[in-house]
Each structure stands twice: as C-alpha cells, then as structure tokens.
Amino acid sequence: MADNNKKYVELLWHQKYDKIELGKKMPIEKPNLPFQVVETINKPRMKDLEEGFFDSSQYYPENEYPENYPKDWKNLLIWGDNKLVMSSLIKQGWAGKINLIYIDPPFFTGADFTVRTKIVSSNEEQGEREEIQIEKEPSIIEERAYKDTWSGGIASYLKYMYERLVLMRELLAENGSIYVHLDWHVGHYVKVMMDEIFGYENFRNEIVVKRIKKNVNEYELVRSLNTDQDIILFYSKSSETKLLPPTRKHGKEPRWHSFEASGYRSGMDYELFGFKPNPGNHWRWSKERAKEAIKQGIIRQNPRTGKPEYLVIKEEEVIGTIWNDIPAYSFNYQFNTEKNELLLKRILEMSSNSGDIVADFFCGSGTTLAVAEKLGRRWIGSDLSKFAIQITRKRLLDIHNSKDLRGEEN
C-alpha cells in the first residue's frame, strides 16, 4: 500500500511487522543563500530625539541594555521560504545560537495563502465610516509553497514540517527551547515526529490554550463537539534546559493552614504552643521565624484543637499546562491567525532572559517579535508572505504606540 499511495502515512514500531526494510533517509538540502538587505532601521540620533521626531521615553541608552545584548546587534526580519532562511542562517554561523523558538505553523486545514484583511474607509465631510474586506491573492512563490505543503495530503505536510524542525533543532542553543503551536488536525503526528527529532526524553509539556469560542449552541445530534482548545508542544534541545513556571493572580481569600508538614527535618521539631510535630513530621519554619510570625499574627493556635496553624496569603498561584486564563488569539491587526501578546509574554518569560535570541520562522503578524522587543530580547523573524512582513514591519516601527504588556488582571 505504501508503495502505491503517495499520501500514505503510518506509524512504525519494533515488532509491528516480522520484517521492515527501510532505505536511507532523504537528505535535507541546506543551501547557503546570501541575504539581500532591503532596509536597515538604526537607533534614532540624539538630534532627532531633541527635535521630537521620536518619543524619548521609548528610547533606551546603551548603558541600560541587558548585559548580554551586544551594542552592535541588529534584529532580523526576513522575507522568504523559512527552509531556505534557516539553512542559510546555519551556514552563516547561527547554529546553536538561538535560545527560544516559537512557531505557529499551518494546521493542515488545507487553507491557501490568500490573505483577507479589513480596511476602514471614511468620509469625514459626511461623517461616514465603512469597513471593507479586501483579499490579497497568493504570489507565485506562495502558490508553489501551497502545492508543496498540501498536494500530497498529510504525507507532504509532515515532510514539510520534518525538514523545518530538523533545521530548528540545529539552530537552538544546547539549553534552548522550542514551542510549536498546533491543533487537533496534526498535533498527534507532529508530537511523534518531534520525539524522533528532539528525543522523547526532551519532551517537556503539552500545553492547552484557549481558542475563540464559537457562539453556536447545538442541541441536536452532531458529528463532534465544538473544539475549544489548541495545543502547544514544548521541547528542549537537551536536559540542560530549565524554565521559570508561570504564575497568575487568583481571588482566593487568605486562609489558615496546619503548620505541620510531612517528613523529618533536624531542628524543626521544637515545641510550639505546647505541641511538637507528630513523629516523622516537622514544623514549616525555623523556631526564630515562627516566634516572629506569632508576634505578627501570622501563626496562631487553632481555635478548636489548639495546634499551631499559619495564615496563607498568596496573591499568585503557579500555573500548570491548562492555560485557560488568556485567549490564544487576538484581532488587533486583522490577521487571521494573530496570537495574543499575553500568550507570547508568558512563553518568553518562562524560557528566555533579557538579551536572549528569540526566533519565529512563521512570524505572521509579528506578535512574537513585538513581545520580544518589549521584553528586551533579541529576535529573528521570517515569513513567506510579503503581506505578513509588511504588517510586522509596520507593527514593529510603531511599537512605541502599541499597548503595554499588561498583566491578566487588566
């Protein structure tokens, strides 16, 4: 069946067949193409700042740059096929240099490269304002990419993703991380593929994020439930990778909790209010800290049992893999697959530091790059769509007029 069907896909494992004959893997071509510099945006001159051409509050002098942010660094926004972009970056010495990659690749929905967006037409004299939807047809190179990605069904899609993920792994630093945003169409296929490329042991998490909920109530028999979530596959390049777990504010009231904790710890079994911890347990804090907490009213005797208890005051809680507190999508730039800046803020703060290099090779409307810029990260972005590059360019140049990265409470 596999020999006759170019769209054939199958998962293989040891002893599924009595004999499996595999040929050599198809090599991934890695051409080195020179980048043609179309435009360079330099920092504003002091004269321009003084004359009001730039907002001085948005200008950061070099002595305030993060320590690992080179003074001569220039971020890169590249128009082109990301396979060629990445292979050229590798050939030009970028292998092992990128700290974090986030990508939001096509979801195998069969969508074409037609861009639909809205513009506002207004007539100030008559006070009229009209929203018009326009379509930008795919270019020749976008049509070619469409055929390469979808023409062979899921087999050609997986080939497309495999080649690019291999290159991304090569670009990642040894302690780097990659987040791949997908949905139900191919998430399970790409998970198995990434186990092969990055190693099963380097899979860290499958994160569930909230889609925009459809305003549809089906009370009749239906073929399937409404899909409310996407997934983000999080892998590391090696065991060296560490992250800072995200937190969110919660509305829980302060509460009293037992001061006793499981496990014996030497010196933590002192007498308090006439009680000692049960055998094999310990008090949570040292004797000196407990005495101070009693004076502050943070430790008291339980009104019923008389045993020590302490006041738990936590304004934040650590988040696991269900991120239902922020939507994954946003509509500020009228781009079909635009992601929410708060989603990228959470990912960047988890897995990168100021001055680190962040990359997005399906940059779309530029959310990853805009957030990286706001958080003091260096960035590299690319997209095949010239329209996406134009939106991203305008967004980045106008970043001082954009919204701040506010917390979820706002």
pLDDT of residue 49: 46
Pick the range with the lowest mean pLDDT from 168-172, 208-212, 256-260, 361-365: 208-212
Q: Check pLDDT > 80 for residue 239.
A: yes
pLDDT of residue 188: 94
Q: Which residue has the higher pLDDT, 110 or 301?
A: 301
Q: What is the dihedral of CA 190, 192, 194, 195, to 10 degrees?
A: 170
Q: What is the mean pLDDT of residues 199-214?
A: 90
Highest mean predicted confidence (pLDDT) among 106-120, 203-217, 228-242: 228-242
Average pLDDT, the chain: 83
Q: Check pLDDT > 60 for residue 118.
A: no
- Please provide the DSSP assignment of 88-129 as one string: HHIIIIITT-EEEEEE----SS---S-EEEEEEEEETTTTEE
pLDDT of residue 48: 45
**Residue in 159, 154, 162 with CA at minimum distance from that of residue 180:** 162
CA distances from 235 to 83, 158, 327 (A): 20, 18, 22
**Residue in 227, 234, 145 with CA at minimum distance from that of residue 181:** 234
Q: What percent of the chain has pLDDT over 90?
A: 49
Q: How confident is the model at residue 251 (pLDDT cuts 50, 70, 90)?
A: low
CB of 211 closer than 8 Å to CB of 228: yes
- Location of structure tokens 């006439």: 274
CB of 155 closer than 8 Å to CB of 7: yes
Pick the range with the lowest mean pLDDT from 50-64, 83-97, 236-250, 276-290: 50-64
Pairing of strands 98-103, 357-360: parallel
Q: Check pLDDT > 60 for residue 109.
A: no
Q: Check pLDDT > 90 for residue 402.
A: no
Q: Check pLDDT > 90 for residue 94.
A: yes
Q: Under 8 Å CB-to-CB from 163, ≥6 apart: which residues?
A: 28, 83
Q: What is the mean pLDDT of residues 131-141?
A: 56
Q: Check pLDDT > 90 for residue 11.
A: no
Other beta carbons within 10 angstroms of residue 202's beta carbon come to: 19
Q: Check pLDDT > 80 for residue 224.
A: yes
pLDDT tens readout for residues 25-74: 888 888 898 898 888 887 655 444 455 544 555 455 566 666 777 878 89
pLDDT tens readout for residues 351-374: 999 899 999 999 999 999 999 998
Q: What percent of the chain has pLDDT over 70?
A: 77
Q: How confident is the model at residue 120 (pLDDT cuts 50, 70, 90)?
A: very low
Q: How confident is the model at residue 148 (pLDDT cuts 50, 70, 90)?
A: low
pLDDT tens readout for residues 158-206: 999 999 999 999 999 999 999 999 998 889 999 999 999 999 999 999 9
pLDDT of residue 108: 67
Q: What is the mean pLDDT of residues 214-231?
A: 78
Q: Check pLDDT > 80 for residue 348.
A: yes
